[in-house]
Amino acid sequence: MNDLDVIKVFCAGDGRHGNLLGVVRDGRTVPDDAARQALAAELGYSETVFVDDPERGVVDIRTPGTRMSFAGHPLVGLAWLLDIEELRPPAGSVWARHDGEFTWITARPEWVTGKRTQQYATAAEVEALPTPPPGEGWLYAWAWEDEPAGRIRARGFPRRPDGAVPEDEATGSAAILLTTELNRALNITQGAGSQLLTAPAPDGTVELGGRVRFAS
């Protein structure tokens, strides 16, 4: 597709890693629900986003198997790509800002559904997990790397029946959930080396930030 951008969200400091995101800048080119879902499945990224109104930030987020009301890495990626201050996924208004090399969104943790976090004793245990671990349901496996500094090692496993994405390289919504559970700012290394930053706010929202680059 001519209007498909592929970007990497939550890159490491050297620009490597990050979770791939497909962005259809003109949602009118894929107008119906079935065609959008088929394209998301064909691309096979954790999420593909269709921009229905670039000025108002109205977006439609799809995994290979379903439509999402909220997801973190697509919205951070879109905030960077579209350079707008507000995005409107089905869940509600998401505010965005840029701070040097990082792009941030502010979201509500109650928008994160269907995910479970599980703490492990060491980062090595997290790294040694099979892909995916046995069991059902979306699992965010994590361990402290440096608890006083808020540094965490994490891996995300959708464990969906279709098996389309065995492991998620960087999961913004799960990072928001974990931030709320721990009630502190976090510096998360997920997957092969992606970096996610978070900070809880007094009003119950969470800021989620990371680096975004075009995929080569």
DSSP labels, 167-180:
SBS--HHHHHHHHH
Read off φ and ψ for residue 8, nearest 5 degrees: -110, 130
Separation of alpha carbons 150 and 142, rounded Å: 12
Rounded CA separation 94/187 (Å):
21
pLDDT at 161: 85
> Taken in order 127, 128, 132, 138, is the CA torsion positive or negative?
negative
How confident is the model over 21-76, as pLDDT tens digits?
A: 999 999 999 999 999 999 999 999 999 999 999 999 999 999 999 999 999 999 99
At residue 199, does pLDDT exceed 70?
Answer: yes
For residue 1, the Cα-to-chain-centroid distance in whole angstroms is 23
pLDDT average, residue stretch 1-18:
92
Q: Identify the pLDDT of residue 143.
A: 98
d(CA 114, CA 17): 25
In the chain, the percentage of residues whose pLDDT exceeds 70 is 99
Q: Is the pTM of this model over 0.95?
A: yes
Task: Quote the pLDDT of residue 63.
Answer: 96
pLDDT for res 163: 85
Q: Where in the chain is the domain with CATH 3.10.310.10?
A: 4-106, 111-209
**Beta partners for residue 21, in sequence order:** 7, 47
Residue-level pLDDT at 2:
59
Residue 14: predicted pLDDT? 96
- Give the distance, in angstroms, between the CA of residue 62 and the centroid of all CA atoms in the same chain: 12
Segments of 32-168 assigned E as strands: 47-53, 58-62, 67-68, 86-87, 94-99, 102-107, 115-119, 138-146, 151-157
pLDDT for the residue numbered 152: 98
Q: What is the mean pLDDT of the chain?
A: 96
Class of domain 111-209 as given by CATH: alpha beta
- Structural element, H or E, at residue 77: helix 72-82
How does residue 164 score in pLDDT terms, banded at 50, 70 and 90? confident
**Whole-number pLDDT of residue 34:** 97
What CATH fold (topology level) applies to the domain 4-106? Diaminopimelate Epimerase; Chain A, domain 1 (3.10.310)
